[in-house]
């Protein structure tokens, strides 16, 4: 078997319970489900931030936001010593290309490292909503041109789809209904069917590996908010994840252990047979010997994200909400000292705070969180990305993305 092409697909705002492969009651994703059946489903995968830029930075580097330094929406990958998945792909002999769909992921974040081609989203270039993001059609056009020019060399491509993000703009339907409709029409029928058609025209789907996930989920009013970025409950932190790899990953299988975005870099390194030049907190998702006592970290800073001048050059003032979790419990700590503790096995929707009834668990989780924070000396006050565009233009784009409400 020849070296497989590898496609990393991240779908903005996609919740796993709206994907049929994760929820048999959901029948909105036939194209995606057929593709996911080729690999292993990780039913308990989590991201590390409830909004795009820091989440993608952690995914790409195998490190928490504590280490990447990307803590705000307009962030920068300030720790350039961290290798990226794309750099490891280059080391493995791949031609690499990145296709973000929103300006918040442009190359000035540092996320372009390791990509031979990185297509920034610029104002007025086949874009919508003031140039802030693009739907899948122009992304697919650029992707197809890259494959046409790639020859027979193996390719590693990252495509980030933003199409689901604006489901809430349809005022004729309840948000949950418009979200479900757009999962089917935009994600499944447009993004995924279009992607597979292009691959079939130029390469081979049967000799392709896929890593499919989301940057974060969507609250859909489960905890008082429609969207994301306000908190770290599982409605926005839990994400779908499937890995398929011809000849290496078992098809049509499931893994119910805790999986994390930071685990993707070491997992792909192992599949590619390349060494990681630095130590990463992530572990190989297919090596059960290293998954005992796994915990995951996430953070959010909604005040810094949503309030004040979103276009100003900011100094990060520290996370406002931090959480640590294992396979059963999640601890959430707020900057004002409030603590929440949830038993995810008995209370998966996190409605019943057990911080007063599980003192031993609370103490153990708090100690673990404090130890994790003490071991990280990097980027507690990371500076947000200093954009060169006029503040009004940036504010307009952020408003179009739904991050500013005026």
The DSSP-derived string for 112-148 is TTT-SEE----TTSS-BTTTTB--HHHHHHHHHHHHH
5-11 and 208-213 strand pairing? parallel
CATH 3.30.1120.10 fits 299-401, yes or no: yes
The tally of CA atoms less than 13 A away on the side-chain side of residue 49 is 26
Residues of the chain with CATH 3.40.720.10: 5-291
> In the 8-state DSSP scheme, what is residue 102?
B
What pLDDT sits at residue 383?
Answer: 44
Distance of CA 202 to CAs 56, 126, 151, 370, 388, Å?
28, 23, 9, 50, 38
Yes or no: say if 216 and 50 are a contact pair by the CB < 8 Å rule: yes
Yes or no: say if 348 and 315 are a contact pair by the CB < 8 Å rule: no
> In the 8-state DSSP scheme, what is residue 382?
P
Collect the ranges in the chain with pLDDT lower than 50.
Answer: 124-131, 379-390
> How far is Cα 319 from Cα 62, in angstroms, rounded to an integer?
19
Angle at which helix 136-149 crosses helix 193-202, to 10 degrees, equals 10
Ramachandran quadrant class, 295 (left: phi over 0; alpha: psi -120 to 50; beta: rest): beta
What pLDDT sits at residue 169?
Answer: 67
Residues of the chain with CATH 3.30.1120.10: 299-401
The tally of CA atoms less than 13 A away on the side-chain side of residue 295 is 17
> How far is Cα 181 from Cα 169, in angstroms, rounded to an integer?
13
What pLDDT sits at residue 382?
Answer: 45
The CA-to-CA distance between both ends of the chain, in Å, stands at 55
Yes or no: say if 16 and 220 are a contact pair by the CB < 8 Å rule: no
What pLDDT sits at residue 384?
Answer: 45
CATH number of this structure's domain 5-291, picked from the four choices 3.90.1170.50, 3.40.50.920, 2.60.120.260, 3.40.720.10: 3.40.720.10
Residue tagged 């994600």 (tokens): 187
Neighbours of 261 (CB within 10 A): 31
Three-state SS at 297: strand
Yes or no: say if 339 and 331 are a contact pair by the CB < 8 Å rule: yes
What pLDDT sits at residue 45?
Answer: 97
Instruction: Find all residues with CB under 8 Å of 196, minimum gap 6, and list them.
Output: 31, 35, 205
Yes or no: say if 42 and 241 are a contact pair by the CB < 8 Å rule: yes
Yes or no: say if 207 and 4 are a contact pair by the CB < 8 Å rule: yes
Q: Which tokens in the block code for residue 186?
A: 């935009």
What pLDDT sits at residue 228?
Answer: 82
Residue tagged 């990145």 (tokens): 98
User: What is 195-221 written as a DSSP string?
Assistant: HHHHHHHHS-STTEEEEEE-S----TT
What pLDDT sits at residue 399?
Answer: 62
How large is the greatest C-alpha to C-alpha distance in the chain, in angstroms?
Answer: 61
The tally of CA atoms less than 13 A away on the side-chain side of residue 23 is 13
């Amino acid at each position: 078997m020849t070296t497989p092409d590898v496609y990393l697909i991240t779908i903005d705002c996609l919740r796993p319970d709206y994907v049929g492969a994760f929820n048999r009651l959901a029948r909105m994703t036939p194209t995606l489900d057929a593709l996911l059946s080729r690999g292993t489903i990780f039913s308990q995968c989590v991201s590390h931030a409830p909004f795009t830029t820091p989440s993608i930075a952690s995914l790409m580097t195998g490190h928490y936001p504590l280490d990447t330094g990307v803590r705000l929406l307009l962030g920068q990958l300030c720790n350039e010593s961290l290798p990226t998945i794309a750099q490891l792909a280059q080391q493995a002999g791949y031609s690499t290309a990145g296709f973000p769909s929103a300006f918040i992921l442009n190359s000035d974040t540092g996320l372009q490292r390791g990509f031979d081609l990185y297509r920034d989203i610029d104002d007025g270039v086949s874009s919508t909503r003031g140039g802030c993001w693009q739907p899948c059609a122009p992304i697919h056009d650029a992707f197809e041109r890259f494959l046409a020019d790639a020859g027979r060399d193996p390719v590693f491509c990252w495509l980030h789809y933003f199409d689901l993000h604006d489901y809430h703009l349809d005022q004729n339907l309840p948000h949950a209904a418009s979200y479900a409709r757009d999962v089917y029409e935009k994600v499944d029928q447009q993004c995924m069917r279009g992607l597979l058609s292009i691959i079939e025209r130029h390469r081979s789907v049967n000799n392709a590996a896929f890593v499919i996930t989301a940057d974060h989920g969507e609250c859909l009013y489960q905890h008082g908010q429609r969207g994301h970025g306000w908190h770290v409950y599982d409605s926005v932190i839990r994400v779908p994840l499937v890995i398929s790899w011809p000849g290496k990953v078992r098809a049509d299988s499931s893994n119910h252990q805790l999986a994390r975005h930071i685990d993707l870099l070491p997992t792909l390194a192992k599949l590619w047979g390349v060494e990681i030049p630095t130590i990463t907190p992530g572990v190989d998702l297919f090596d059960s010997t290293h998954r005992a006592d796994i915990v995951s970290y996430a953070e959010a800073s909604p005040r810094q994200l949503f309030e004040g001048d979103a276009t100003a050059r900011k100094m990060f003032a520290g996370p406002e909400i931090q959480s640590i979790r294992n396979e059963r419990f999640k601890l959430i700590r707020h900057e004002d000292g409030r603590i929440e503790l949830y038993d995810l096995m008995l209370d998966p929707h996190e409605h019943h705070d057990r911080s007063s009834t599980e003192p031993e668990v609370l103490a153990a989780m708090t100690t673990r969180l404090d130890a994790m924070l003490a071991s990280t000396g990097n980027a507690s006050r990371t500076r947000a990305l200093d954009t060169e565009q006029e503040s009004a233009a940036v504010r307009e784009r952020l408003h179009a993305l739904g991050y500013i409400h005026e």
